């Protein structure tokens, strides 16, 4: 092919590519799609249907009876017992036989009541019940806060897959037009077979990437549907625009969030509640060394009915105090105390671990938002610069100094930059949700803000 023919080929094909690529570029900022499931709707459905939050709710309901159980040991213990039956005496005979004599019927009813006056074990059990009730409250708060984070992760995974599918669809349209045009030029004797091969190879690669992205989308939709327990076919499309300012104002710096976490973090509060439970268990086991004193009352009615005799009835009562002093129980009390102390030390260590982990998580989340916003702005500029580079490549192709491969590479860079922008934005939003979750500040208003930024 002569130089003049090659320039004519590139000029004619460039006009076609210009129309295809500019159409692709003009379509790229906005995706036409039907409104799907919103992040708010996904959370509302998960709050009602998520198995994890339902399990946490049942555990919370159970924990709220712990204090009443412990308090019951401090109140009077009243019991009613009765016995009804027959009795008598058996006299043996000389011929190895026996006869029954003096048969009688004996019935008695006893009403007993006991009020603890001094019992460290019962008091420790009451304190442990209160601590367990508070632990249940804190664990339910942890589950409620983590629900926001889990729903956001599941929702954003669907968004990642859908973003890539939509970008790949646009890229396929541009490459498909390039393949068609290259074939026409080659059939007319103006193109090269290498142009067709390069465009077709890129098209096949993009098709493979699309199949992979669609598989990820199906898996992500299934995971999101598992959270919400509703059928999810699509979610709302994500925008490529960014807010003018970072979601975190400058005054809400890292020390600000760290200070809030010390007072409001549900995870830290749950660990502290577990320490309180362990302390109460130590007191409960240590109470085995102490005496107990209680007020005891008892009323008994006994009736004995004998053959051919009157039915005598006897009523008796007793009021007094009962003192129990433990002397020796084979070392079980001492061993139980040591075990409880070891568990307390473990709970305190878990609290320290959680506090350190919380500090690291907050710093990671905070930097994820701040650096993520900065990176998103940079990626937005990268999209614009790669878009200009694509335009320059197309103009160079018109002038005969660029090839089809150059256009394909420029298109790929635009696609990659736009995908990185969207993924960076999702990472920033996920860090924003996690930051509020770890500090106990996540609520519906914050989730609505995330939805507006999405």
Q: What is the mean pLDDT of each run of 10 residues along the chain (454 residues)?
A: 40 41 38 67 88 88 89 90 77 54 75 90 89 90 90 92 88 76 66 72 83 88 86 85 85 90 89 91 88 90 66 81 86 88 91 90 92 90 88 74 77 88 92 92 91 88
- Spatial CB neighbours of 114, under 8 Å, sequence gap ≥ 6: 76, 77, 78, 294, 295, 296, 297, 322
pLDDT value at residue 236: 87
Structure tokens at 259: 């200070």
Q: Are 307 and 103 in contact (CB under 8 A)?
A: yes
pLDDT value at residue 2: 39
Cα-Cα-Cα-Cα dihedral sign, residues 223, 227, 233, 235: negative
Between CA 445 and CA 147 the distance in angstroms is 15
pTM, two decimals, is 0.76
Q: Are 272 and 347 in contact (CB under 8 A)?
A: no
CA angle at 24 for the pair 19 and 29, rounded to the nearest 5°: 135
The candidate with the shortest Cα–Cα distance to 18, out of 178, 249, 222, 254, is 178
pLDDT value at residue 285: 87
Structure tokens at 79: 């019991």
- What DSSP string runs through 276-321? HHHHHHHHHHHGGGS-EEEEEEEEEEEEEEETTS---EEEEEEEEE
pLDDT value at residue 9: 39
- Spatial CB neighbours of 27, under 8 Å, sequence gap ≥ 6: 170
């Amino acid at each position: 092919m002569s130089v003049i023919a090659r320039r004519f080929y590139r000029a004619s094909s460039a006009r076609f590519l210009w129309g295809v690529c500019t159409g692709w570029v003009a379509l790229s900022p906005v995706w036409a799609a039907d409104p799907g499931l919103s992040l708010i709707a996904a959370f509302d459905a998960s709050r009602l249907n998520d198995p994890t939050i339902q399990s946490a709710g049942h555990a919370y309901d159970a924990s709220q009876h712990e204090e009443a159980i412990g308090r019951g040991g401090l109140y009077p213990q009243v019991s009613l017992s009765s016995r009804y039956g027959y009795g008598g005496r058996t006299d043996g005979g000389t011929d190895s036989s026996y006869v029954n004599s003096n048969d009688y019927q004996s019935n008695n009813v006893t009403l007993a009541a006991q009020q603890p006056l001094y019992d460290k074990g019962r008091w420790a059990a009451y304190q442990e019940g209160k601590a367990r009730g508070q632990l249940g409250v804190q664990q339910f708060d942890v589950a409620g806060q983590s629900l926001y984070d889990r729903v956001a992760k599941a929702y954003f995974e669907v968004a990642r897959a859908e973003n890539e599918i939509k970008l790949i669809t646009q890229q396929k349209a541009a490459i498909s037009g390039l393949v068609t045009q290259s074939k026409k030029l080659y059939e007319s004797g103006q193109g090269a077979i290498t142009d067709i091969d390069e465009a077709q190879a890129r098209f096949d690669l993009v098709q493979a990437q699309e199949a992979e992205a669609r598989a990820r989308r199906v898996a992500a939709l299934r995971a999101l549907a598992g959270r919400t327990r509703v059928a999810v076919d699509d979610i709302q499309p994500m925008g490529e625009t960014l807010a003018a300012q970072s979601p975190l104002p400058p005054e809400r710096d890292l020390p600000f969030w760290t200070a809030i976490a010390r007072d409001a973090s549900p995870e830290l509060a749950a660990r502290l509640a577990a320490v309180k439970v362990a302390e109460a268990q130590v007191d409960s086991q240590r109470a085995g060394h102490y005496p107990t004193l209680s007020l005891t009352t008892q009323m008994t009615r006994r009736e004995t009915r004998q053959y051919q005799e009157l039915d005598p009835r006897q009523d008796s009562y007793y009021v007094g105090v009962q003192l129990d002093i433990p002397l020796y129980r084979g070392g079980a009390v001492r061993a139980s105390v040591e075990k409880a102390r070891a568990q307390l030390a473990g709970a305190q260590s878990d609290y320290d671990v959680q506090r350190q982990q919380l500090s690291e998580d907050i710093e990671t989340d905070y930097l994820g938002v701040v650096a993520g916003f900065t990176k998103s702005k940079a990626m937005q500029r990268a999209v614009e610069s790669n878009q200009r580079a694509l335009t320059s490549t197309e103009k160079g192709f018109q002038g005969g100094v660029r090839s089809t491969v150059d256009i394909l590479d420029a298109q790929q860079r635009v696609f990659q930059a736009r995908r990185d922008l969207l993924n960076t934005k999702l990472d920033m939003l996920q860090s924003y949700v996690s930051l509020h979750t770890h500090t106990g500040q996540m609520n519906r208003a914050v989730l609505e803000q995330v939805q507006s930024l999405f």
